[in-house]
Copies of this chain bind each other. A is one copy, B any other.
Amino acid sequence: MAAGGPRNVLIELNAVLVALIDDAPKVLTLEDGALLPSGPFETGHPTLQTGVRAWVERQTHHPLGYVEQLYTFADRNRAEAGTGRRTVSISYLGLTRERTAQGEREPGWQSWYRYFPWEDWREGMPGLLERAILPRLERWLAEARDPVLKRERRQRVEGNFDEKSWNEEAVLQRYELLYEAQLVPEAGRPRARIADPLPGAPMRYDHRRILATGIARLRAKIKYRPVVFELMPPDFTLGQLQRAVEALAGRPLHKQNFRRQVEQQGLVEETGASTSGTGGRPAKLYRFRREIMLERALAGTKLPITRS
């Protein structure tokens, strides 16, 4: 079988490490936001999971609430291209609790909407979509001479970027479309940088792609698994919980429906206490019912669809 066999292969780990800080979804980055944490897998560990956990917890000094594998790449790219050494990079999504009131912000936590500003619909459709993105995609359509290709491109743009058909889970597809249309800096060959890139900070290598994968996975997951709670403090109000889900999903939720669903699914229970630090009437405090994870094969946090 061709040039197979053992070789110098490097196993690299990448982490999309998420925390909620002041109602903003943040990811841990290095190098002034240009990189996700990554490093070699320490072959001493018995399993990948334990290796990832140990490595991430050393980087962040936070216990890791939840870890999930995202994707494995083994593509020939990166610096190693010529060296005959192959890199397999295995990426993970991790959720952690960030103590917020600490005053001093830890560095490296960046809002993920810095990288994907078009993904934040909490205040309605972001202006830059209409202003900067859709016109550029329109131009990309126009570039296609072949009518079949043009039609295909139009359908993809409409299916992924239109206000009506907006699906907050399609983070990766949207990024890939922008990449293909050469609208993000990462798409340029080393020399030929993109002339006038879109708003949204780039990252080195394929790290923004990995981040998109992580966001997409998390947005999908919160709908059928109670993972939000890994990002919440032990006690929280329903308003806080709603804002957390909104921050992740990138869109506003309907208050009453959200509450009804959370309560009727038995996801939370009252602590008995309430808090008065919220600016209005004091809110009851709740905590996550951990038992639920055993009780049912799938416990979900459904997201009602509409505004305010």
A residues lining the B interface (CB < 8 Å): 1-11, 39-44, 46-48, 51, 55, 69, 71-76, 85-86, 88, 90, 152, 155-156, 158-160, 165, 167, 169-170, 173, 291, 294-298
Contacts and interface: CB of A to CB of B under 8 A. Distances in A.
4 shortest interchain CB distances as A-B pairs: A155-B294, A9-B9, A167-B297, A170-B297
A209 to B, nearest CB: 13
Contacts of A11: 9, 74, 86, 88
A222 to B, nearest CB: 16
B294 A152 contact: yes
A85 B88 CA distance: 16
A6 to B, nearest CB: 5
Contact of A297 (B8, B48, B173, B291): B173
A243 to B, nearest CB: 25
B76 A48 contact: no
Contact of A72 (B10, B48, B55, B155): B48
A298 to B, nearest CB: 6
Contacts of A158: 295
Nearest to A154: B294
Given A11-B74, A72-B48, A43 B3 contact: yes
Given A41-B74, A46-B76, 5 more contacts: A3-B44, A5-B40, A6-B10, A165-B297, A170-B298
A39 B6 CA distance: 12
Contact of A42 (B1, B88, B169, B173): B1
B43 A295 contact: no
A215 B133 CA distance: 39
Contacts of A85: 6
Contacts of A165: 296-297
A10 B11 CA distance: 10
